[in-house]
Amino acid sequence: MMRCPNCQGKDIGKIGSRQYYCWTCFVEMTLDNNTLLLHQVEADGSLSSLNDLFNEEERSLYGNG
């Protein structure tokens, strides 16, 4: 089961073919080559990258257990 790298929550919903959303901390994730790209959804609907807050191991699909 996929866990959110930000909050470790399991309440992840699929919103696109390779896109997911954490309903616990409201982070959008995109799967790219088994690595999650994380974004915060801003009030205006734009996305801000959170990738610099996590190393590759934390964002790896295999590292999320």
Res 57: pLDDT: 86
Domain residue extents for the chain: 12-64
First to last CA, the chain: 6
Query: What percent of the residues of the chain are helix, what percent strand, and what percent coil, each to the nearest 5?
Result: 15, 35, 50
Give, for all 65 residues of the chain, the pLDDT tens digit. 788 999 999 999 999 999 999 999 999 999 998 899 999 989 998 999 999 998 888 888 755 44
Res 65: pLDDT: 46
